[in-house]
Structure 1
């Protein structure tokens, strides 16, 4: 079993995400990157080509930018494939956690939900978070 990671977005977000992941994880990190709608190629054909080359036993993690976006919608039929996970609203914390997870076994739904929760907690309004920290310090 091999884990494949597809990073797909409108325009260049996915390319930047992949480059940033390589910065942290090293140049050997492998991702399939889809920068949709920048070259007038239909995304359906790109997705078809990618999945045609993936053996059934391989796990596929797809990260997209927007839940209601067309890029995410085009991947939805693929979740019927075994060991295929579609996650949207990607951020760097989510992408790093998923791509650095052990490949000794398939990811479980429970583990993916834990990773999503952790990544969700990384989204913070820093003004308020710092204010709360200041108030905690004053209370001590």
Structure 2
């Protein structure tokens, strides 16, 4: 079982957070980002489904979102499974 982290946010905050982490710690291949509402035609539900589908079911996903009870957070809650932990604001 492998552990993956997902930084998920409204706008590009998640990418900025990953850039800061990598500036301090170096490249982090197990940290992934989801930046919602950057492109109008991209559906958040589809983004979350596609990202979660990339990982084997036995792997652990730790999702860190920017706003408690925000739309990004709520979308991940819908996909809550035994292998996903959801942590609130950074």
TM-score normalised over the length of structure 2: 0.90
Structure 2 residues not aligned, in runs of 5+: none
3-state SS of paired residue (1:89): coil
- 1:68 is displaced (CA, Å) by 2.2
Unaligned runs of at least 5 residues, structure 1: 91-140
Which consecutive segments of 4 or more residues in structure 1 shift more than 2 A? Answer: none
> Would you tell me which structure has more strand in proportion to its own residues?
2
Counterpart secondary structure, 1:45: helix
- Root-mean-square deviation (Å): 1.0
* Partner residue, 1:7: 7
Q: Which has the higher contact order (CA 8 A, sep 6+)?
A: 2
Give how far 1:52 is off: 1.4
The higher radius of gyration belongs to 1
Q: Is the 8 A contact 1:56 1:82 kept in 2?
A: no
Structure with greater helix percent: 1
Could you say which residue in structure 2 is the equivalent of 1:33?
33
Cα deviation code 1:3-56 (max 9, x no counterpart): 1111110111111100011111112x0221111101121111011111112111
Aligned pairs, how many? 88
